[in-house]
Amino acid sequence: MHILIIGAAGMLGAKLAARLAADGTLAEQPVDRLTLIDIVTPPVPPDGTASCDAHAADLSEAGTIEPFIAERPDVIYHLAAIVSGEAEADLAKGYRINLDGTRHLFDAVRAEHDASDGEYVPRVVYSSSVAVFGAPFPPRIDDDFQQTPRTSYGVQKLMGELMLSDYTRRGILDGIGLRLPTICVRPGKPNAAASGFFSGILREPIAGQEAVLPVPDTVRHWFASPRAAIGFLVHAAGLDGEAVGPRRNLNLPGLSATVADQLESLGRVVGADAVALVRRKPDGAIMGIVGNWAENFEPARAEALGFVAERSFDEILRVYLEDDAPASVRGPAS
């Protein structure tokens, strides 16, 4: 099996590549080749028996993705995007990368599908977001709640979802869209996502550094760990399309928690000294974005299809301490 990961230099892309290289299988099939693409050359996993090649390429430029699709990968992961805060700040860049790049990919698949007389129909796993929903919200968003995003990022992701569904309906590709919760705790340095503080108020204090909290403690959001997110991506590759049905974009399991819940968990798992490093500094621009995001879900379809996530924020914190925290601060989880 040949796997193409677009956005492989990002946190999830790199973790997914490492997981597939280490496992050597996907959807119960051996993985013999990994192709990794991003705007910068992605890291090549150090372990695994599959051959792996990495490339720097800009998906938003017409003609860039076609040579990679011409090799007819069996599974395509589309994880490339600019994040919410950057998409809101730079409208043209958001549409160029998040929408135009997606259309270039899907049209390249269509061209190869046509060249193969309809035989080439790859599984495409599309990374979407809970940002496709907009306020006002019910207490819990079920699988029938309408998508009415109120951010440019959410609009761009929803456009990708609609294209994925249409190209799947037409038999050009076999798509699965995953509305990812906010991934927390994200390792590494802060990024431009408006949701970045959800990780920052945990990651930085765990490392003994001050963190800024730009929203009230009462803000509620929908979370899953990086470990759960990689599980989602792996599981999606092997789903039976007939079992999914024509509605190919899924609300994924996660955990609904407030900022106060996060900080209470930080105190239990790491200690009060870590909580004391969180400094409150209100930011109306960030609150304006985050206040239009979904807070709680009832993801019955995804759970019935076998997707799973954490059930407590303590569990999410322990995943970070086990998987990504610097070795010097992993002790409190034991």
Q: Is the pLDDT of residue 271 over 80?
A: yes
Instruction: Give the pLDDT confidence score for residue 334 in this predicted structure.
Output: 40
Same domain, 17 and 133: yes
Residue from 179, 194, 193 nearest 128 by CA? 179
Q: Write the pLDDT tens digit of every residue in 151-179.
A: 999 999 999 999 999 999 999 999 999 99
Q: Which residue has the higher pLDDT, 291 or 75?
A: 75
Same domain, 216 and 266: yes
State the CATH number of the domain containing residue 324.
3.90.25.10
Q: Alpha-carbon distance 163 to 60, whole Å? A: 16
Q: Is the pLDDT of residue 49 over 90?
A: no
Q: Is the pLDDT of residue 331 over 90?
A: no
Phi and psi angles of residue 33, each rounded to the nearest 5 degrees, phi first: -150, 135
Task: Confirm whether 120 is a catalytic residue.
Answer: no
Which of 77, 153, 167, 320 is flagged as catalytic?
Answer: 153
Q: Is the pLDDT of residue 330 over 70?
A: no
- Strands 29-30 and 25-26 come out as antiparallel
Name the residue range of residue 241's domain: 2-180+224-251
Q: Alpha-carbon distance 54 to 40, whole Å? A: 9
Q: Is residue 272 part of a domain?
A: yes
Same domain, 89 and 9: yes
State the CATH number of the domain containing residue 152.
3.40.50.720
Q: Is the pLDDT of residue 332 over 60?
A: no
Q: Is the pLDDT of residue 333 over 50?
A: no
Q: Is residue 321 part of a domain?
A: yes
Instruction: Give the pLDDT confidence score for residue 299 in this predicted structure.
Output: 98
Output the average pLDDT for the chain: 94
pTM for this prediction: 0.94
pLDDT confidence band for 2 (50 / 70 / 90): very high
